[in-house]
């Protein structure tokens, strides 16, 4: 595919948007990493104008003050983003590739955005477009994942350490695991005040929705070590929550979320131990 003007090309497999260029990049660094993959038909690219002709965003309420947004038909990884409303402003948690006028209008009706925070590089997608659409709001990414930013911008704020407080009582928690800077979001007002954890792919919710899991690579079936799982569990230990919102539509642990993390970690580590040669 050749486009004469300079545009921001988007990888069709992972949804990452790259710096403006005349021709598509030779490869997608995100997809060539062992946690992702190049599609069966080889590296392919699209643009936001092209995507807007074939896809639409669906917006649905998850609970009071929490709204999810996802692309239909499914595009790339298929994750959902969330608009989380607080008395001090709204946060976009994680990001999806498609942003259009209808989505901007819907988010503005919710009160717009004060900031964006993203769990890991697979969901960076068109974060710069989202930030600019709502007034160049800051985008919080963990410093450990800086090298995976394919479209640098002054709006990106790289935070360091194991946790950082945002506005409205929100806290970003570094769990690592899937990526070195893998981040989760604690929302103490969620689940009617019992607390909610928005876990991205750091603690994914599994289909029975009473358990969670942990992985280094999902499509390539590479597990995490016991030490990595223990680090993730330790990172969320100081925070109280009853509900877990995973990265994909419907993947929510409605209640007993913290205990679900503990028993899931125990099961995971037990199975790793059982596989060791004796």
pLDDT confidence bin for 167, thresholds 50/70/90: very high
Out of 37-41, 79-83, 149-153, least confident range: 37-41
Question: 169-224: per-residue pLDDT in tens?
Answer: 999 999 999 999 999 999 999 999 999 999 999 999 999 999 999 999 999 999 99
pLDDT at 6: 80
Q: How far is CA 113 from the centre of its chain?
A: 17
pLDDT at 79: 98
Q: Tell me: pLDDT of 42 over 90.
A: yes
**Mean residue pLDDT across the chain:** 96
Question: 64-81: per-residue pLDDT in tens?
Answer: 999 999 999 999 999 999
pLDDT at 9: 98
Q: Tell me: pLDDT of 3 over 60.
A: no
Contact by Cβ (8 Å): 90, 83: yes
CA distance 232 to 98: 30
Neighbours of 199 (CB within 10 A): 29
pLDDT at 278: 57
Q: Which residues contact 24 (CB under 8 A, 6 or more apart)?
A: 1, 9, 45
pLDDT confidence bin for 275, thresholds 50/70/90: low
Structural domains of the chain ordered from first start: 51-274 (3.60.15.10)
Question: 209-221: per-residue pLDDT in tens?
Answer: 999 999 999 999 9
**Would you call the peptide bond into 73 cis, given omega within 30 degrees of 0 as the criterion?**
yes
pLDDT at 129: 98
Q: How far is CA 160 from the centre of its chain?
A: 18
The residue among 71, 162, 181, 164 whose CA lies nearest residue 122 is: 181
Q: Tell me: pLDDT of 17 over 80.
A: yes
């Amino acid at each position: 595919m050749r486009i004469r003007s300079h545009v921001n090309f988007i990888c069709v497999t992972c949804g990452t948007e790259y710096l403006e260029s005349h021709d598509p990049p030779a490869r997608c660094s995100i997809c060539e990493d062992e946690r992702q993959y190049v599609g069966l038909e080889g590296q392919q690219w699209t643009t936001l104008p092209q995507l807007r002709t074939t896809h639409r965003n669906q917006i649905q309420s998850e609970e009071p003050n929490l709204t999810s947004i996802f692309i239909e038909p499914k595009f790339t990884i298929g994750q959902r983003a969330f608009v989380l409303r607080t008395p001090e402003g709204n946060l976009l948690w994680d990001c999806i590739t498609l942003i259009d006028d209808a989505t901007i209008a819907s988010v503005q009706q919710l009160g717009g955005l004060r900031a964006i925070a993203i769990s890991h590089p697979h969901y960076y997608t068109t974060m710069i477009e989202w930030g600019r659409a709502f007034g160049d709001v800051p985008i919080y990414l963990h410093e450990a994942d800086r090298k995976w930013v394919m479209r640098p911008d002054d709006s990106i704020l790289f935070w360091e350490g194991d946790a950082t407080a945002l506005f409205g009582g929100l806290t970003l928690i570094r769990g690592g695991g899937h990526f070195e800077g893998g981040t989760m979001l604690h929302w103490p007002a969620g689940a009617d005040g019992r607390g909610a954890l928005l876990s991205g792919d750091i603690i994914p919710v599994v289909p029975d929705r009473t358990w969670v899991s942990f992985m280094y690579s999902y499509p390539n079936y590479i597990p995490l070590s016991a030490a990595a799982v223990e680090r993730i569990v330790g990172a969320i230990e100081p925070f109280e929550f009853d509900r877990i919102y995973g990265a994909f539509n419907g993947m929510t642990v409605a209640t007993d979320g913290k205990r679900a993390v503990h028993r899931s970690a125990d099961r995971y580590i037990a199975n790793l131990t059982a596989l060791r040669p004796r």
